[in-house]
Amino acid sequence: LTFYVFHHAILYPSSLWPKGVVANGFVLMEGTKMSKSMQNITPLRDGVAKYGADPVRIGVMATAELGQDTDFSETLASAIGERLVGLLGQARRLRRVRVRTRALSELDRWLLSRLNRVVVEATSAMERLRVREAINKVLYQLDNDLAWYQRRRGQRKGKGDSNGAVLRRVMEVRARLLAPMAPHTAEEIWSVLGQKGLVSIAKWPKADEKLNNPVVEQAESLIGGTLEDTREILKATAIMPKQVRFYSAAGWKWRVYLKALETAIGGDQGGFLRTVMGDSEVRGVGKQAADYAAKVFQQARQMGEEQRKARLGMGVLKEKEILTGAVDFFRRELKAEVRVWAEDEEGRVDSKGRARLAEPYRPAIFVE
């Protein structure tokens, strides 16, 4: 340790001197202390030969942050190896894709916004030396986002891969994020994609504020949440659906909801109710409007400040438009006819009176 400090002091300027030194505690093996007496030691050379250098490297880092005892798991190392091999396979397939220049779809914008979010969060984690957190963002969160992206797109045989440029961009950024964690895999991906030089000396990716798109992220969250709620209804009722109807909240509910977000902190419920009931349309609804206003005011008070500000900033979400744009996806997933109506839409089909249950960010659902 002494010579480590001396070497840096002599060879490097002070800006490159160590910021700190960490002494690791026990290395656990499947939750048990690794020791000769328990015969559960895996020599590093054997681990690398069996699982590969990158799976061992991530397997050690992914189980604990600095200051905690790492818990090496052979099952985890094998799973990480399979995941890294899968990434290489994706890179090789992307190399063969003919990239066409096309306008970005809303789904493309969603994936790029999610990628940008991962860059921001992984960068913050690395700067705080929370490597485990960074691994979770780069290796697992991005995989979940890509799985949702492909699921939403569905099979598009005969139409070419119009999203090849977006997927290549995601993979290139991912290779740079992976370089400190899985250097061998990252270099192979970088090379397969035809990038010049070594990814280990390429610049760490920077967040691009232009890619941030909270509206499309919230739209996908709405679609995913609506699908999940519908599946819960089908599971509880054991219905094989022929038709599913979604109803988005009426305009007056959105005005009440946004006013609740605006006044929940610092305002009183009585004053809030007097304000919203001053709206002639809201007042015309009667007791239902008053009950709804009291309910959302309490919800807004319990909501986290960050979420409240984000939803206020987005304003009214065009829920009917969002759900209508995902009708083909819902039909594929639910194997049923799907219709979308607004709660206050003239001529809507609502024989069971379900539309009145619609709320902002939570459409009403009817299954038959």
The pLDDT mean for the chain works out to: 91
Tokens of 131: 């490597």
Residue 158 has pLDDT above 50, yes or no: no
**In the predicted structure, residue 95 carries a pLDDT above the cut 90:** no
Give the up-direction half-sphere exposure of residue 313: CA atoms within 13 A in the CB hemisphere. 10
- Give the pLDDT confidence of 259-305 residue by residue, as tens digits: 999 998 888 889 999 999 999 999 998 999 999 999 999 999 999 99
Contacts of 272 (CB under 8 A, 6+ apart): 259, 260, 263, 264, 293, 297
The tens digit of pLDDT for each residue in 59-91 reads 999 988 887 888 888 999 999 999 999 999 999
Q: Where are the beta strands (DSSP E) in 32-133?
A: 32-33, 70-72
Q: In this predicted model, what pLDDT tens digit does every residue of 20-67 receive, in sequence order?
A: 887 777 788 888 888 888 888 888 899 999 999 999 999 999 988 887
Predicted local confidence at residue 42, as pLDDT = 84
Q: Whole-angstrom Cα distance, residue 220 to residue 218?
A: 5
Q: Which residues of 83-108 are buried (b: 16+ CB within 10 A; e: fewer)?
A: bbeebeebbeebeeeebeeeeebebb
Give the type of residue at 340: V
Closest CA to 104 of 163, 146, 168, 159: 163
pLDDT of residue 64: 86
Query: What is the number of other CB atoms lying within 10 angstroms of the CB of residue 56?
Result: 21
Considering the chain, what percentage of its residues have pLDDT values greater than 90?
A: 75
- 8 Å CB contact between 180 and 93: no
Question: For the chain, what percent of residues have pLDDT higher than 70?
Answer: 96
Question: Per-residue pLDDT averaged across 141-153, rounded?
Answer: 94
What confidence score (pLDDT) does residue 228 get? 97
Q: What is the mean pLDDT of residues 235-255?
A: 95
The 3-state DSSP class for residue 357 equals: helix
* Span 80-108, average pLDDT: 87
